[in-house]
Amino acid sequence: MPFNKRLMNTGTIFAPLTFSMNISYVTTHDAMDVHNWSGSSYYIAKALESEHVEMDYIGSLNIRHNKILKSKEFFYKKALRKRYQYQREPAVADDYARQIAERVKPGSDLIFSPGSLPVARLHSHQPKVFYTDATFAGMLNFYESFTNLCAETIRNGHRLEQDALSSCSLAIYSSDWAARTAMDNYNVDPAKVKVVPFGANIQCNRNTDDIKRIIARRSKDTCKLLFLGVDWVRKGGPLVLEMAGLLHKAGLRTELHIAGIRSLPIDDLPEYVHDHGFISKATPEGKARLEQLIADSHFLVLPAKAEAYGLVLCEANSFGVPDIVSNVGGIPTIVKQDVNGKLFPSGTHVVEYAHYIGNLFSHYEEYEQLALSSFEAFQQRLNWKVAGNQLMQLLSAL
C-alpha cells in the first residue's frame, strides 16, 4: 500500500521519520460525538490523527427498511419472547457496505473501523482493518442483551463475524480475551489477530509528581470506594454495596460513592453511601466532578459479572487509583495483579474483597505504592498515545 517514510539527511543531523497515510475511518454513527460508544470511536480517531495521518470520516450510515426491521424485532419480542438484533441482518451489512463504497475516496490507503459490522460485507481493493472490544461469540450469553437471542440473530451474528474476519487484513482487539474468542470460534489466520489495549477516554497531563500529591491528599482514616458505571447489576453494584457494609461493620470508616446510575434501584441507602447519579463527561462541570470523585477515591471497585473491557479502570489508574475487580472478560488485559489493582476469580465471596481492602488500607504505605504503580501502568500501557503508536506500527506493516 502507498505508505511513505521519508528520512531527511541534513549534514550530520537526521530529521525524525515522517509518515503519510490516508485512512478512511468508518463508523455507523458520528465518530466525533463523544456520547457514542463511551467516546471510544472519538478517542481511537484522535489517537490515529496524532500519528500524523490524514483521516477521512465516513459515518452516520443509514439503515434502509428500518421500520420493517423494527416490526420484526417487535414480533420476536412479543410473539416468541426472543431477542432479535436487526443490526446483524446481512441486508443491513450490505447496505453499510454500499454506502461506504460510495464514499471512500480514490486516494484512500486503508479502511479502518472501530467495529467489525460496518465493514463485514465491504469489498474493496484497500486493506480493511477493524479494532474493537469483542466478537459476537464472546458476547453471546455473556451480556444480558446477548441472552435469549433468536436462532436467526445467532446465525446472522456468527455469519457476519466470520465475513469480517475472512475479509480483513487485521483484526485488532482491545483484550486477550476478545482475541481468543475470535480464534476459538471462527476460521481466522492467527497472524492477523492482534491485541492493542484501549486507552483511558480522559484527558490527562498529570505526571508522577502530580499523582504523588493527589495520593497524599487522600484521607488516611476514611476508606473511600468508588463504583462508576451505568449498569448496576452487570458491573457488580450489589456486591460493592455489601462490601462497603462489611468494612463499615468491621470498624473501618468507609464511604461508598456511586456514580453513573440514572436511577439506583435502592430506596434507603446507608448514611455512608453517596449516590451521585448519572454525571455526563460531555459538560465541563460534569467532567470536573467525575475527575474529583476519582481523584479522592482510594479504590475503584468493579466486581463485574461480565465486562468486555472496562475503560473506567484505565481512567481510575490515570489518577493513581487501583482497581478492585473480578477476573472476567477483557479486564485481565487492563489489571495486572498487585501492579495496578487486584483481580478476584469470578464468584469470589464478598468477604474476601472486603478483607483485602481493609488489610491494604491498614498498611497504608503499601497502598500508596500500589496507587503509584497504578499510575505507572496507565503511563506505560493504558493511554491513547501508546495505543495510537501501536496501531500505526501494525498498519505500517500492511
Q: Which of 7-16, 65-74, 304-313, 373-382 has the lowest mean pLDDT?
A: 7-16
Nearest to 331 by CA among 197, 140, 165: 197
Q: What are phi and psi of 337, to 5 degrees?
A: -55, 125
- Whether the CB-CB separation of 292 and 309 falls below 8 Å is answered with no
Same domain, 130 and 182: yes
CATH number for the domain including 179?
A: 3.40.50.2000
Per-residue pLDDT of 29-46, as tens digits, reads 999 988 788 889 999 999
- Decide if pLDDT at 5 tops 50: no
> Residue 340's pLDDT is what?
98
Question: Residue 203: which pLDDT band, with cuts at 50, 70 and 90?
Answer: confident
Same domain, 55 and 154: yes
Task: Please state, in angstroms and rounded to a whole number, the distance separating the CA atoms of residues 273 and 102.
Answer: 53
Same domain, 181 and 238: no
Same domain, 60 and 190: yes
Q: Which of 25-29, 281-285, 293-297, 336-340 has the lowest mean pLDDT?
A: 281-285
Task: Please state, in angstroms and rounded to a whole number, the distance separating the CA atoms of residues 252 and 389.
Answer: 44
- Decide if pLDDT at 148 tops 90: yes
Quote the number of domains for the chain.
Answer: 2
Other C-beta atoms lying within 10 Å of the C-beta of residue 95: 17
- Decide if pLDDT at 7 tops 60: no
Per DSSP, 190 falls in state: G
Query: Which CA distances in Å does 180 have to 134, 135, 176, 329?
Result: 10, 10, 6, 10
Same domain, 271 and 148: no
Give the global pTM.
Answer: 0.92
> Residue 82's pLDDT is what?
97
Query: For 245, how many CA atoms within 13 A lie in the half-sphere containing its CB?
Result: 9
The pLDDT > 90 percentage for the chain reads 89
> Residue 12's pLDDT is what?
34
Same domain, 375 and 390: no
Task: Please state, in angstroms and rounded to a whole number, the distance separating the CA atoms of residues 151 and 84.
Answer: 9
- Dihedral class, residue 260 (left if φ above 0, else alpha if ψ from -120 to 50, else beta): left
Question: Residue 241: which pLDDT band, with cuts at 50, 70 and 90?
Answer: very high
Same domain, 152 and 260: no
Per DSSP, 83 falls in state: B
- Decide if pLDDT at 10 tops 90: no
Per-residue pLDDT of 358-375, as tens digits, reads 999 999 999 999 999 999
CA dihedral sign of residues 293, 348, 201, 160: negative
Nearest to 384 by CA among 321, 296, 318: 318
Other C-beta atoms lying within 10 Å of the C-beta of residue 6: 10
Q: Going along 122-197, which residue ranges are E strands?
A: 128-132, 170-173, 193-195
Same domain, 155 and 280: no
> Residue 65's pLDDT is what?
79
Same domain, 18 and 42: yes
Burial of 275 (0-12, 13-18, 19+ CB in 10 A): middle
Other C-beta atoms lying within 10 Å of the C-beta of residue 159: 16
> Residue 4's pLDDT is what?
36
The pLDDT > 70 percentage for the chain reads 95
Q: Look up residue 301 and give its three cell numbers.
A: 471497585
Same domain, 129 and 56: yes
Per-residue pLDDT of 286-319, as tens digits, reads 999 999 999 999 999 999 999 999 999 999 999 9
Element housing 313 (H / E): helix 311-317
3-state secondary structure 338-353: CCCEEEECCCCCHHHH
Same domain, 352 and 261: yes
Please give the residue range of the domain that contains residue 171. Answer: 4-199+384-396
For Cα atoms 377, 383, 385, give the angle at the middle one, nearest 5 degrees: 125
The position carrying cell 420476536 is 76
- Strand 254-259, strand 223-228: pairing: parallel
Task: Please state, in angstroms and rounded to a whole number, the distance separating the CA atoms of residues 240 and 227.
Answer: 7
> Residue 167's pLDDT is what?
97
Average pLDDT, the chain: 93
> Residue 75's pLDDT is what?
94
Burial of 398 (0-12, 13-18, 19+ CB in 10 A): middle
**394-396-397-398 Cα dihedral, nearest 10 degrees:** 100
Same domain, 18 and 75: yes
